[in-house]
A and B are shown apart, each in its own frame.
Chain A
Amino acid sequence: MTVLEAFVFATVLCGFFGIIFKQNLVMKIISMDIMSTGVIAYYILVASRTGLFTPIVGNKNNVAYADPVPQAVILTAIVIGFSIQALMLVGVMKLAKNNPTLEIKAIEKNNMS
């Protein structure tokens, strides 16, 4: 459990450092996706604290169910996350016309004052 948690946080941090260190805008967006993958994995990990069985009512009693609440919550977050990502990529496509390299420094130079 602890090892898994460490891996999950490593994923989140990898994503975050990618956002900071990658120069290309598309790479930054991919890094953001990696970060959100880490966050989603963390929700799944928290859900599996109490057990691994799918929480469906059946004829078996007293099995260790996984907690359905974090899973349901993160489902919403996944949907929101990918719609935001789609929106961002559309914006990037538009920007790519005048900033073909999509280097963040060049874009900021062209568009800040």
Chain B
Amino acid sequence: MTEITIAWLSLPFFVGFVIYLFPKLDRILALSIAVISAAYATQIFVEELVLNIQLVDNFGVTLTVDQLSGFFILTNALVTAAVIIYCWQTGKTAFFYMQLIILHGSVNATFICADFISLYVALEVISIASFLLIAYPRTDRSIWVGLRYLFTSNVAMLFYLVGAVLVYQAHNSFSYAGLRGSPSEAVALIFLGLLVKGGIFVSGLWLPLTHSESESPVSAVLSGVVVKAGVFPLVRCALILEEIDPIVRLFGVITAVLGVGFAVFEKDSKRMLAFHTVSQLGFVLAAPMVGGFYALTHGLVKSALFLITGVLPSRDFKQLQHQPMDTKIWLALAIASFSISGFPLLSGFGAKVLTSKNLLPWQVIGMNLAALGTAISFAKFIFLPHQKLAGNGDQMIKLDEKTGEQGDEGKKIQPGFWWAMVILLGGLVGANVFYYQAYSLQNTIKPLATIALGWAAYLAVFKKLVIKIPRDLELFDHLMGVMSLMLILLFWIVWTQTQYLT
């Protein structure tokens, strides 16, 4: 299995460059990589594999493959496949598919590596590949959004590097386990890097603009899997070291609440989804033990939703309320929204139940609040008007005026869109097998009550509410400044935590 793992890990990078040499085969090669990753993830679950690989020598690369990585790899494979199929007929160049596959490969690498330097390399490759994908339309706006992303993540990674060398100084090794016994500042610096990269709490406020201003398929990949590359190492560290666990859980709760706090008031559909991604990452962190399953369901739902917003007539909720959409699109939208609100029959329900069972008592209030906020924000989608349009699915779609996507979706909904929905929404139903024990009467009542309460709150209050949250915090200088504040906060948290333990 070691050889297979290494071959699977390096294949995307190899194929990525091959795609550029044979541009005609781009989509087929790209899709086959996604299929291979899905097969590999299935193999992990079938064999119940736990694999530790130490390459080269003592100071070489260490990899760890287990069920937790399996969930993340499966998410990555399904989302990438759906996005490739979605783009099948949009005339994207080989360059796009090349970057997509290299991104896929480097995200996979973060899900199995077990030392800080391999992680650093993988995260930086992710930054570069995502920048190229975001800037693919070559408009000024997209280049600026990409540049802002690259800058923020590179500065965060510089802090991370300082943390990594402090760990090395303490243990003569870069492995994750070395966090134990490292000085507090090392933990704080490494966490700052990962929090920024993963879009957690206030250091994740770069995320809404980046994810909402990219093209829909790119947003789907970014929101579905790429942010999880920053979250996964946090989850892994929390599982290896119990001292870290409370810190990660704490960030989970505050992120979940902060994210929905913004999402509830947002009037733009793509921005709402992006803020909601922030909050869902909090759910993944809040119960690290079962974070993998939550990440899977969230990745599928969020990429489906981003792809759907790409074919909606407008981005603005106000306009959508006056402009009915096709019932078929609404159906897909409703299924995804139901899953993320935790409605039974879809795996979002299982994930919510599993997460809430693994919460500590002090987390419960915050997480319930966040779940309620989720139901409120997705009521915005569910209660949109819809009607059966003549010439089903052939209606005109206005171009996204903000991102200036030149004919990104074409003028009609491509059949690729529906196939992508089949993969993602089918995956949502299929993922129920991972936790079918959730279906008991007792478990069903709470999510249903949450949804009912959320809808009531939406119809009574939030639908008419007009509050505009200022976007000052998302300005570039503030993003940088917040990093220094977060560093102080993190240092303080880690320092008190270690004082308390010893």
Could you mark each residue 117-153 of chain B with 1 if its beta carbon is under 8 Å from any beta carbon of chain A, else 0? 1001100100110010001001011011111001100
CB distance from B103 to the nearest CB of A (A): 15
Chain B residues near A76: list those with CB within 8 A.
Answer: 117, 121
Known A-B contacts A20-B477, A80-B121; the reply to A91 vs B158 at CB < 8 A is no
Partner of A42, one of B121, B147, B165: B165
Partner of A70, one of B120, B151, B168, B480: B168
Residue pair A91, B146 in contact (C-beta under 8 Å): yes
Residue pair B155, A19 in contact (C-beta under 8 Å): yes
Residue pair B121, A88 in contact (C-beta under 8 Å): no
**Cα A33 to Cα B150 with chains together (Å):** 14
Residue pair A70, B484 in contact (C-beta under 8 Å): no
Could you mark each residue 34-53 of chain A with 1 if its beta carbon is under 8 Å from any beta carbon of chain B, else 0? 01100100110010010000
A window 68-113: CB within 8 A of B: 69-70, 73-74, 76-77, 80-81, 83-84, 87-88, 91-92, 94-95, 98-99, 104, 107-108, 110-113
Residue pair A107, B144 in contact (C-beta under 8 Å): yes
Residue pair A39, B162 in contact (C-beta under 8 Å): yes
Chain A residues near B174: list those with CB within 8 A.
Answer: 73
A66 contacts B by Cβ under 8 Å: no
Residue pair B161, A77 in contact (C-beta under 8 Å): yes
B209 contacts A by Cβ under 8 Å: yes
Residue pair A91, B147 in contact (C-beta under 8 Å): yes
CB distance from A93 to the nearest CB of B (A): 10
How many chain A residues sit at the interface, stated as a range, is: 35 or more
Chain B residues near A107: list those with CB within 8 A.
Answer: 144
Chain B residues near A39: list those with CB within 8 A.
Answer: 158, 161-162
Interface of A is mostly: helix
**Cα A80 to Cα B117 with chains together (Å):** 12
**Cα A108 to Cα B476 with chains together (Å):** 8
Residue pair B143, A42 in contact (C-beta under 8 Å): no
Residue pair A84, B162 in contact (C-beta under 8 Å): no
Residue pair B143, A94 in contact (C-beta under 8 Å): yes
B154 contacts A by Cβ under 8 Å: yes
**Cα A95 to Cα B476 with chains together (Å):** 16
Known A-B contacts A69-B59, A108-B476, A111-B141; the reply to A92 vs B165 at CB < 8 A is no
CB distance from A70 to the nearest CB of B (A): 6
Chain B residues near A84: list those with CB within 8 A.
Answer: 124, 127-128, 150, 154
Known A-B contacts A20-B477, A76-B117, A80-B124; the reply to A43 vs B165 at CB < 8 A is yes
Known A-B contacts A91-B135, A91-B143, A95-B144; the reply to A32 vs B151 at CB < 8 A is yes
**Cα A88 to Cα B150 with chains together (Å):** 8
B window 463-499: CB within 8 A of A: 471, 474-477, 480-481, 484
Chain A residues near B480: list those with CB within 8 A.
Answer: 16, 19-20
**Cα A43 to Cα B116 with chains together (Å):** 14
B64 contacts A by Cβ under 8 Å: no
Residue pair A87, B150 in contact (C-beta under 8 Å): yes
Chain B residues near A42: list those with CB within 8 A.
Answer: 162, 165
CB distance from B236 to the nearest CB of A (A): 20
CB distance from B501 to the nearest CB of A (A): 26
Known A-B contacts A84-B128, A91-B135; the reply to A111 vs B144 at CB < 8 A is yes
Residue pair B158, A111 in contact (C-beta under 8 Å): no
Residue pair B140, A110 in contact (C-beta under 8 Å): yes
**Cα A107 to Cα B143 with chains together (Å):** 11
CB distance from A69 to the nearest CB of B (A): 5
Partner of A12, one of B144, B151, B162, B471: B162
Partner of A92, one of B117, B128, B147: B147
CB distance from A36 to the nearest CB of B (A): 6
**A36 (CB) vs chain B CBs: closest residue:** B158
Residue pair A35, B158 in contact (C-beta under 8 Å): yes
**Cα A84 to Cα B140 with chains together (Å):** 19
CB distance from A10 to the nearest CB of B (A): 13
**Cα A4 to Cα B281 with chains together (Å):** 40
Known A-B contacts A39-B161, A46-B168, A88-B150; the reply to A104 vs B140 at CB < 8 A is no
**Cα A20 to Cα B475 with chains together (Å):** 11
B169 contacts A by Cβ under 8 Å: yes
Residue pair B165, A46 in contact (C-beta under 8 Å): yes
**Cα A69 to Cα B131 with chains together (Å):** 30
Partner of B475, one of A29, A46, A91, A108: A108
Residue pair B59, A111 in contact (C-beta under 8 Å): no
Could you mark each residue 1-38 of chain A with 1 if its beta carbon is under 8 Å from any beta carbon of chain B, else 0? 00000000000100010011000000011001001100
**Cα A113 to Cα B144 with chains together (Å):** 12
**Cα A57 to Cα B176 with chains together (Å):** 31
**Cα A84 to Cα B150 with chains together (Å):** 8
Chain A residues near B164: list those with CB within 8 A.
Answer: 73
CB distance from B13 to the nearest CB of A (A): 15
Chain A residues near B477: list those with CB within 8 A.
Answer: 20, 104
* A-B CB proximity, top 4 nearest: A111-B144, A91-B147, A80-B124, A111-B141
- 14 further interface pairs, Cβ-Cβ under 8 Å (given A35-B158, A76-B117, A95-B143): A19-B480, A20-B484, A32-B158, A43-B165, A46-B169, A76-B121, A87-B128, A87-B150, A91-B146, A92-B147, A94-B140, A104-B476, A110-B140, A111-B141
A–B Cβ pairs within 8 angstroms, 8 of them: A19-B480, A35-B158, A39-B162, A43-B165, A83-B128, A84-B127, A87-B150, A112-B209
User: Which of A's residues lie within 8 Å of B, judged by CB?
Assistant: 12, 16, 19-20, 28-29, 32, 35-36, 39, 42-43, 46, 49, 69-70, 73-74, 76-77, 80-81, 83-84, 87-88, 91-92, 94-95, 98-99, 104, 107-108, 110-113
